[in-house]
Amino acid sequence: MGATEETWYDEDAGPIVRLYARVGARAAAQRDGLDLSVVLHRVPGVPEPDNLSPDQSRALRLIRRPIALSEVAARLGLPLGPARLMLAELRDAGLLEADRRDASPDVLERLLSGLNSL
Amino acid sequence: MSTRTKVITGLALLIALWAAAAVPALGEARRVLSARTTATDLAGPAGALVLALETERRIAVAGDSASETAAQRVHTDHARQELATARDAVSGWLSGSDATRQTGALLDRTARLTEIRGQVDGGQLRGVKAADAYTALIDPSGLETPTVFADQAGSRAAALSALSRARELLAEEDALLAAFATQDKITDADRVRLQNLAGARRELLSAAGAELPIAAGTALTAAEGAAGGPAWSTAYNTANTALWEQQTAGVTAAAGAGTNDAVLTVVRAGVVGGVGLIAVLAMLLLAWRSRTGLKRPRRQTSRPAAPARLGGLDPLLRDLERRNQGLVHRQLRLLDTLARREADQDALGDLFRADHLANRVRRNLEKAITLTGGSPARRWHQAVPLAEVVRAAASEISEYDRVSTARLDPVTLAGPAVTDLMHLLAELVENAATFAPAETTVRVAGEHVADGYRITVTDVGPGMTADDLATAARVMAEPEPPTGGTWWGLYAAGRFAARHGIAVTLANGFDGGLVAEVLVPTTLIGPLAGDNETTLDDLEPVIG
């Protein structure tokens, strides 16, 4: 009793929007084979559903051009695991497709030069 | 006045004071104990009669065979007779107790059974009308279940009534579905009625703090979506049994806990009586021994003890609340850390579910603190993007993925209003998601208007009747909570709003559904500086 009241302000109050809500992951869907090196494409002609979280919408906007999964995660500021879960769900919903690309020396070289140019 | 007269007057006054305190206390103790016994005696037969009436309703509506009908009627009559016998055994001075009043009313209503049966047999009452006639026997007002009594259930009475009402609504839904099955087609009005029943049931269940077992709930929702069908009766029977068992177990537990209260009342009565009596005797003795020397009666010290109060619990509960806040805060922080580094997708899904549950616990905790006049320990000085507050609100309800927050004019909300507006919106979004059919979307939009920023929460549910809209407005405006387990969500919304001069209004939308409007004062709204993340989106991808 009589303990001093503990309070948390702003940053310390924690993220207002929890990760699960950003990622929008709820259904226990099959989430296989979406590993970190895949390149994502938007499936043409499938309209964006209206109950996507802002992060999901932004991801779809990024994927208008083929883009690596890890890059989507980085640009959204999401950790890789949660980002993968979110994108797997969008894939399951038929909104995007994943191309497994072998990390050929060519790709690695382009990645390196891309990173250097940032 | 002689000293002797003074002493006698003083004593008489003391005895009168003591009696004034002791007699009601003893009477109350006797009443509480007897009322509890009565309630326990009546609960069984009352429950049996309600179940029998529900079964008879189902049979009458579905137009089952004559032999089945006859057998069920004998069964119902027997149950009614049992209740009447139990009710008549209650002594007269307890006729005012809740249990005797509620069961008496049930017996009075069911006196109409013969008349209703005649109309069912004659074909004047059929389908939905027959179902309604029976429903009116069970609970005409839709407010008070005849199977849960305050005397027995004590402080859990409101929650258990809500649970019991939820089960009765489920049975009503079953009867209506049976009725619709005999019709040529199901009208829109029929569908709205079913949706309303299902929504009210969900709300009552959540007010009761109860939940169906997950499998039963899923099966029920699926069968509900199909408006009956072969899956319904299995799902219904499972759910109905589960709810009935929860209610019975709840009443038994509450009665056990309530017995402690009753014992406390008796002890209190004993203290008032005993201490007062000893004081009076001591006074008499004193008066006897110093008859002449007594200058004045020692009224101050011999006054009977006032009934004890339980006010001391309040700081203790506050302390527990504060500790719980600290624990949930740490739990959420830990879950966040774990989720950030978890690579396994299944484990991550489980972590998110745990996070969601913990977040809902925090919401309840902060709601309790706010409703009792406190302020949650998580606070904001800085303004926060309103869109985040809205998304946080949506994430606080169980089906958060049904909420669309796409159409919000970008603004910020003043820090001190963040938690309250978040929980306010959570109530409205939850209300919308509860009453609208499963799988439909609840839309939250926001825009600048002349006198502030207007947030609307729109669903595609059945909307509300004019009466319900009026009740909702009243409940949101009142500082005292409504009784009976319903409307608590909107009551809480009203309290959150009142703390910041926010106005909340409910109305039916033009194309059905309910629209909740939240007007946030201009003083709480600020401009949102453009973030640079959008420009980052437009950069060329590193790998093309």
pLDDT over 80 (residue B174): yes
Both B244 and B348 in one domain: the answer is no
pLDDT over 60 (residue A3): no
For residue B287, being part of any structural domain is answered with: no
Q: What is the DSSP string of B86-154?
A: HHHTS-GGGTTSHHHHHHHHHHHHHTTHHHHHHHHHHTSS-HHHHHHHHHHHH-SSSS--TT--HHHHG
Question: What's the domain range around B343?
Answer: 313-378
Residue A9 β-bridge partners:
B379
User: Which of B245, B261, B277 marks a domain boundary?
Assistant: B261
CB neighbour burial string for B98-109, b if at least 16 within 10 angstroms, e if fewer = bbbebbbebbeb
For residue B163, being part of any structural domain is answered with: yes
pLDDT over 80 (residue A102): no
Residue of chain A whose Cα is closest to the Cα of B385: A16
Q: CB-based contacts of B370: which residues, under 8 Å, 6+ apart?
A: B376, B419, B420, B423, B495, B496, B499
Restricting to A residues 39-58, those with a Cβ less than 8 Å away from any Cβ of B are 39, 50-54, 57-58
pLDDT over 70 (residue B262): no
Both B351 and B389 in one domain: the answer is no
Both B345 and B205 in one domain: the answer is no
Residue B428 CA to residue B461 CA, distance in Å, equals: 13
B477 pLDDT tier (thresholds 50, 70, 90):
very high
SS3 for B16?
helix
Both B473 and B372 in one domain: the answer is no
Please state, rounded to an integer, the average pLDDT across all residues of chain B.
Answer: 82
Residue B6 CA to residue B505 CA, distance in Å, equals: 66
Both B21 and B157 in one domain: the answer is yes
- Give me the interface pTM, i.e. the ipTM: 0.81
B294 pLDDT tier (thresholds 50, 70, 90):
very low
Mean pLDDT calculated for residue range B502-524: 94
Between residues B55 and B184, which one has the greater pLDDT? B55
Domain tally, chain B? 3
Mean pLDDT calculated for residue range A66-81: 90
Q: Which residue in this structure is represented by tokens 């950790």?
A: A79
Q: From the CA of A79, how many Å to the nearest CA of chain B?
A: 6
Both B182 and B33 in one domain: the answer is yes
B310 pLDDT tier (thresholds 50, 70, 90):
very low
Q: Which residue in this structure is represented by tokens 């909107």?
A: B490
Give Cα B115 distance to the centre of its chain: 35
For residue B439, being part of any structural domain is answered with: yes
- What's residue B307's pLDDT? 38
Both B248 and B321 in one domain: the answer is no
Going from the N-terminus, what domains does chain A have, and what CATH number goes with each?
29-117 (1.10.10.10)
Both B187 and B245 in one domain: the answer is yes
Least confident of B89-103, B335-349, B386-400, B408-422: B89-103
Residue A41 β-bridge partners:
A97
Mean pLDDT calculated for residue range B452-465: 93
- What's residue B1's pLDDT? 59
pLDDT over 70 (residue B301): no
Q: From the CA of B369, how many Å to the nearest CA of chain A?
A: 13
B544 pLDDT tier (thresholds 50, 70, 90):
very low
Q: From the CA of B527, how many Å to the nearest CA of chain A?
A: 18
Residue B129 CA to residue B135 CA, distance in Å, equals: 10
Contact B542 A39 (CB under 8 A): no
Between residues B251 and B336, which one has the greater pLDDT? B336
- What's residue B298's pLDDT? 35
Mean pLDDT calculated for residue range B151-178: 83
Nearest to B448 by CA among B400, B407, B390: B407
Instruction: Out of B392, B441, B542, name the one closest to residue A17 (CB).
Output: B392
Least confident of B354-363, B373-382, B426-435, B479-488: B479-488
Restricting to B residues 314-353, those with a Cβ less than 8 Å away from any Cβ of A are 315-316, 319, 322-323, 325-326, 329, 332-333, 336, 339-346, 348-349, 352-353
Q: Which of A6, A41, A51, A84 best probes binding to B when mutated, by most B CB atoms within 10 angstroms?
A: A51
B490 pLDDT tier (thresholds 50, 70, 90):
very high
Residue B345 with chain A: CB contacts under 8 Å: 31, 81, 84-85, 88
Residue B525 β-bridge partners:
B413
pLDDT over 50 (residue B337): yes
Least confident of B115-124, B162-171, B175-184, B304-313: B304-313
Residue B315 CA to residue B312 CA, distance in Å, equals: 7
- What's residue B277's pLDDT? 67
User: Which of B220, B239, B261 marks a domain boundary?
Assistant: B261
Mean pLDDT calculated for residue range B340-349: 86
Both B364 and B451 in one domain: the answer is no
For residue B290, being part of any structural domain is answered with: no
Mean pLDDT calculated for residue range B180-195: 81
Between residues B35 and B334, which one has the greater pLDDT? B334
A29 pLDDT tier (thresholds 50, 70, 90):
low
Between residues B502 and B275, which one has the greater pLDDT? B502
B292 pLDDT tier (thresholds 50, 70, 90):
very low
Backbone φ/ψ region at A39: left (φ over 0), alpha (ψ -120 to 50), beta:
beta
Residue B223 CA to residue A16 CA, distance in Å, equals: 37
pLDDT over 50 (residue B297): no
Cβ atoms of B230 and B195 within 8 Å: the answer is: no
For residue B147, being part of any structural domain is answered with: yes
pLDDT over 70 (residue B344): yes
Both B80 and B203 in one domain: the answer is yes
Q: pLDDT tens digits for B226-261?
A: 766 777 888 888 888 888 888 888 888 877 776 666
Residue A17 with chain B: CB contacts under 8 Å: 388, 391-392, 395
Between residues B99 and B262, which one has the greater pLDDT? B99
For residue B266, being part of any structural domain is answered with: no
Return the percentage of chain B with pLDDT > 70, whole number. 84
- What's residue B299's pLDDT? 36
B215 pLDDT tier (thresholds 50, 70, 90):
confident
Both B153 and B121 in one domain: the answer is yes
Both B123 and B231 in one domain: the answer is yes
Least confident of B115-124, B275-284, B376-385, B455-464: B275-284
- What's residue B290's pLDDT? 55
Strand order across the beta sheet in which B503-508 lies:
B403-408, B442-449, B452-458, B514-520, B503-508
